[in-house]
Structure 1
């Protein structure tokens, strides 16, 4: 998959006319994936139920967004971004071609965009094994080592009790991505827990592979009661 920091890999290229996006309001980011034949790619395989996963994160690893854009017939995609704070943002396209030379290959490509205005850098929070979001406590359990895959679980509790009403989200009970401090290298931590009939929890399992040492900002997304929650921890 690579670290997601290049706009081209294996003959595939992420292209966009957009280099600047407005601050403080919802906006659309349009892009295409060009194939090795120089033509827009229009055939994509579903990955966790979606043919395109699109991420946006600011250079200080604040302001995370994870979207599933729509594709037009000509292979152009539109991602509807929520309000962005000023600064430099990196946008990532994660996809699997379903035809051509790269069929079946996991690819992540990215570009940067500028959001004009006074950028106020948010210091990266200290490393911690747990955090809270929307009244839920999220705890990461497992040994993370650079360049080696390790089993990791994320325990979710509320009011001191294990949460067992996690609703399916993207064909699993939780979705986990991570970004490296400094260069914004990307890592998708693959879920190991399959959804069954009904709800799940409280310990979704992942295969964690962080390609380089340093500080990583993790974003865990899970759904309860029809609402999507996003927890972040370093």
Structure 2
């Protein structure tokens, strides 16, 4: 099992954090296994000059929880501080290494070299994408339409070489989508939710900073679902974001993959470093269709 399938770092002051989920709150789920096309322009390609980016728009320098724009010499760089509202758009970025140059070699994890996530500050509009990379190290993520407000964009990757080789990293930046931004209240804490006719139930009492088992059960019309198909080398993909600061967490179930026979129970090893409410997004596939379920979980 790769390091990314285990708990992913997402803790303040360097604490280990793992958990995740995937789904699309009020918006429709969006997976970019077939991303929007668009060649990176020269002007959009970060140069990786090694300059101090601490004052760059969208660059947070705090470390931990996936909220940092830089870690161990690796930076998430982009010229885009704003994105248009109400229409699909390409977001171009690069990952630069400790030498200041764009990284072009990444380890394949969960069938992809890089995973990309977008979430609005009120934890709506979740998108999980798989961008394409140009030869110069510029990535292009084809985002679906964004609503006005502040958005945080995460890149999750493992460098294939250099000082960060085999190290799982999550870096993020913020962008502004201009226009009137109405905040959507976070849905109440619940152990169950429905999506596309499926009922997803979560069981587990989580405490901040402690590892606990978390079980997700999928049913339909009152009957257990046993035909989950592999998605990214697993039967589900779980991403979570912390209310207030959008701290990131992610993991996959520990169930062994055996063809299109997943479910109904999915077992996770979860550790969330922060107390409070987390918005969970669970992605799973049946009959070739990707479903995204969302619910709010409280961590003591």
How much does 1:198 deviate? 3.0
What is residue 208 of structure 2 aligned with on the other side?
A: 146
Q: Is 1:62 the counterpart of 2:128 in the alignment?
A: no
Deviation at 1:189, TM superposition (A): 2.6
Q: Equivalent residue for 1:115? A: 177
> Please, what TM-score do these two structures have when normalized by structure 2?
0.77
**2:101 alignment counterpart:** 39
- Distance of 2:247 and 2:190 partners within structure 1: 20
Cα distance between partner residues in 2 of 1:117 and 1:161: 44
Alpha-carbon distance in structure 1 between the residues aligned to 2:104 and 2:247: 26
Tell me how large the CA RMSD over aligned residues is.
Answer: 0.9
2:165 to 94, 99, 103: 103
Contact 1:151 1:208 in 2 (8 A): yes
Mapped pair 1:194 → 2:256: yes
Whole-angstrom distance in 1 between the partners of 2:260 and 2:198: 20
Q: Distance in 1 between matches of 2:281 and 2:118?
A: 12
Are the aligned partners of 1:143 and 1:150 in contact in 2 as well (CA < 8 Å)? yes
Contact kept in structure 1, 2:230 and 2:259, CA below 8 Å: no
**Is the partner of 1:198 in helix, strand or coil?**
coil
Q: After TM superposition, which residue ranges in structure 1, 4 or more long, deviate above 4 angstroms? A: none
- Say which structure is richer in strand: 1
Q: Could you say what secondary structure the match of 1:191 adopts? A: coil
1:6 to 62, 68, 88: 68
> Is the contact between residue 151 and residue 177 of structure 2 (CA under 8 Å) also seen in structure 1?
yes
Unaligned runs of 5+ in 1: none
Partner of 2:57: none
Q: Contact 1:55 / 1:67 at 8 angstroms: preserved in 2?
A: yes
- Deviations 1:146-203 (CA, angstroms, capped at 9, x unpaired): 1112121110000000111111100001100100000000011342123113331111
Whether 1:25 aligns to 2:84 is: no
In structure 2, the gaps of 5 or more residues are 1-8, 11-64
**Corresponding residue for 2:133?**
71
